Amino acid sequence: MKMTCRQHRTIEKRRWIGPVPRTRLMIVCLAGAAAIYISPISFAQQPDGRLTPPAVVVEKIKVQQVSNPARFTARVEAIAAVDIRARVTGFLRAVEFKDGQTVKAGDTLFEIEPDELEALVASARAQVARAEATRKSAEQTLVRNRNLNTQRTVSQAALEEAQAAFEIAAADVQVAEATLRTAELNLSYARIAAPISGNIGRATFTVGNLVGSDSGSLARIVSLDPMRVAFAMTEGLLVTFRQQEAGGGAFDPDTLQLSLRLANGTEYDKPGRIEFVENEVDPQTGTVTARAVFPNPHRILVPGQFVTLYVQEKEMPRLPVVPQTAVLQDREGRFVYLLGANNTVSLRRIDTSARVGSGWAVNKGLDGGEQVVVQGIQRLAEGMTVQPSEGQPVGGGS
């Protein structure tokens, strides 16, 4: 049976629109994906059809002193603190300070009524005089008996009794003198003076109260200049110090720069110095107790307050510092794009260390003076030509 021309064309059409082989389908899909892929590197098109290089912002790398201080939470302590107590019993006659006042060593703080103590001193002096008179009489008797014994008119036993009486009288003088010194010392305790300079707290007793050695603290003096700052030094920093000692002598605390940040976020304006480092590491915390001393002429530091302590070397290295916005990272590490000749960019691997403000210190990869791209980085590739600007990028944002 012969097919007409129309039937023949219908059969041929069915062959072309029939099921597509899997291999052919995959090729078609891949081709379609390639056709709709848009490169992330976009260029603006000028009216004449030419492509405009992407606009970027560049910044010149500067070399700065880089600090990487160790940070510790520390507590302020007074170097000296004294509780003022009464040594003798009596009624308070005067309180010679105001609560919170700054006092100097030797200033009078309290006065206890001295009348009874003065009477005891007078009685002790009378006892001394009496003992002296007895001793003098015993001495005269001893001299007389010695002379008579030489003439054999007094027995040896009588001489020995006179000698013993003189020695007893001399001892009584010493006892009386000791009693007098004790009475005079107790009288001096009626005036209570500041043993150290510092800031005194409130008086716990007022005038007219009976005080004594069992009355507890009358007031407390705390020295405020200088102040001690105690902190737990890390074991690693301690090892560094010990290595310095092993490498050429004793550790010099003057090679360190110590600074404080106060609770309100401000920096304390006086530098400190390491005073003491404990010789044992706490096995539970892995730290060692250390103390630093800071001058405190304006009484800003107060015992018991918490501060942040920064410890770093005074001689800080100078390194290139790259803005954080210029740094990218992949599996191989961090890198930046440098602006080169003819406004082309090149990828440069870098090794960073400490944070410096909003940037990174660079150990390897940069020398300083290079121009790095800080905006528009995501659109770049090795060797691409760009439009650099040190202000806002050409044509708007990055």
DSSP state at residue 381:
-
Is residue 238 assigned to a domain?
yes
Q: End of a domain among 165, 192, 221?
A: 221
Q: End of a domain among 266, 281, 313?
A: 313
Judge if 124 and 170 occupy the same domain.
yes
Judge if 338 and 253 occupy the same domain.
no
| Cα separation, 331 vs 93, whole angstroms | 82
Judge if 115 and 208 occupy the same domain.
yes
Is residue 9 assigned to a domain?
yes
DSSP string, 170-207: HHHHHHHHHHHHHHHHHHHTTEEE-SS-EEE---SS-T
Judge if 301 and 371 occupy the same domain.
no
Judge if 215 and 237 occupy the same domain.
no
Judge if 159 and 210 occupy the same domain.
yes
Mean pLDDT, consecutive 10-residue segments, the chain of 398 residues? 49 46 40 37 50 84 77 88 92 91 91 92 93 89 83 81 88 92 93 92 92 91 90 73 58 72 89 80 79 89 90 74 88 89 89 78 85 85 85 43
Percent of the chain with pLDDT over 90: 26
**Which structure tokens are listed for 212?**
């004594």
Judge if 270 and 326 occupy the same domain.
no
Cα 227–Cα 308–Cα 246 angle in degrees, nearest 5: 80
DSSP state at residue 49:
S
Is residue 150 assigned to a domain?
yes
Domain with 177, as residue range(s), is 81-221
Judge if 103 and 192 occupy the same domain.
yes
| Cα separation, 144 vs 159, whole angstroms | 9
- β-strand 102-103 against 198-200: which pairing, if any? antiparallel
Provide the CATH number for the domain around residue 210. Answer: 2.40.50.100
Is residue 46 assigned to a domain?
no
| Cα separation, 111 vs 126, whole angstroms | 26
The whole model's pTM is what? 0.55
| Whole-number pLDDT of residue 314 | 66
| Whole-number pLDDT of residue 358 | 79
Is residue 396 assigned to a domain?
no
Provide the CATH number for the domain around residue 355. Answer: 2.40.420.20
Judge if 261 and 296 occupy the same domain.
yes
Is residue 98 assigned to a domain?
yes
Strands (E) in 267-385, as ranges, are: 273-277, 287-294, 306-313, 318-323, 328-330, 333-339, 345-349, 351-356, 359-364, 371-375
Provide the CATH number for the domain around residue 262. Answer: 2.40.30.170
DSSP string, 249-293: SS--GGGEEEEEE-TTSPBPSS-BEEEEE-SS-BTTTTEEEEEEE
| Whole-number pLDDT of residue 282 | 75
Is residue 42 assigned to a domain?
no
| Whole-number pLDDT of residue 246 | 59
Q: End of a domain among 313, 339, 370?
A: 313
Judge if 217 and 233 occupy the same domain.
no
3-class DSSP assignment, residue 392 = coil
DSSP state at residue 88:
S
